[in-house]
Amino acid sequence: MIRTALFAVLALFALTSVGRAPALAQAADPNNTLVIELKTGEVLVKLRPDLAPKHVERVKTLAKQGFYNGLKFHRVIDGFMAQTGDPKGDGTGGSSLPDLPAEFTPEVYKRGSVGAARTMNPNSANSQFFICFGDGCRGLTGQYTLWGEVIEGMQHVDKVARGEPPQNPDTMLKVYLLADAKK
């Protein structure tokens, strides 16, 4: 009886560990891995403090405050990107924290790249961000701060409702650091 129960526990552990193993291998640092829960599943984002330390720190701060929980994807353009992070839900809002200076790099935007949304002023990024659907974001390279990359769950981002704004927008149910999930 005990041997059967132990086998069942080990089998369950193996099944649940398999789903996270590839992502955890890529995201060696749970303190620099953002989890975005969507209605269809989790998206894991490897944060890139090597590219944009101020933006990464801001995202961590806002995630720890629960700022992103429940916010809509207010601008979603097929083949381009899904934008979120605005508490007003219309693309005009931000957090109560000051805007950030640009941290542009030559790192090329690609499918799964996560960047800071901003106005025409390069130093106006605050809380809003976008996730690239494909190579349509390449033109943003060197003009928008790239601060992360999706390492697991891009299939869930692909299912976010399209529109500017979408008729029935999807939301980020919960956003947190992977390290905080263990607490």
Q: Residue ranges per domain, the chain?
A: 28-181
- Answer for the pair 171, 43: CB distance below 8 angstroms, yes or no: no
Does the pTM surpass 0.75? The reply is yes
> Does the domain formed by 28-181 have CATH 2.40.100.10?
yes
Q: Which two three-digit tokens encode residue 8?
A: 């069942």
Q: Encode pLDDT of 61-104 as tens digits.
A: 999 999 999 999 999 999 999 999 999 999 999 999 999 999 99
Task: Report the percentage of the chain scoring pLDDT > 90.
Answer: 82
Which helix (H) or strand (E) segment holds residue 10: the answer is helix 2-26
Q: What is the pLDDT averaged over residues 45-61?
A: 98
- Residue 72 confidence (pLDDT): 98
Q: Encode pLDDT of 10-23 as tens digits.
A: 333 333 444 444 44
- Residue 183 confidence (pLDDT): 63
Query: How far lies 71's CA from each of 63, 77, 81, 174, in Å?
Result: 12, 17, 16, 9
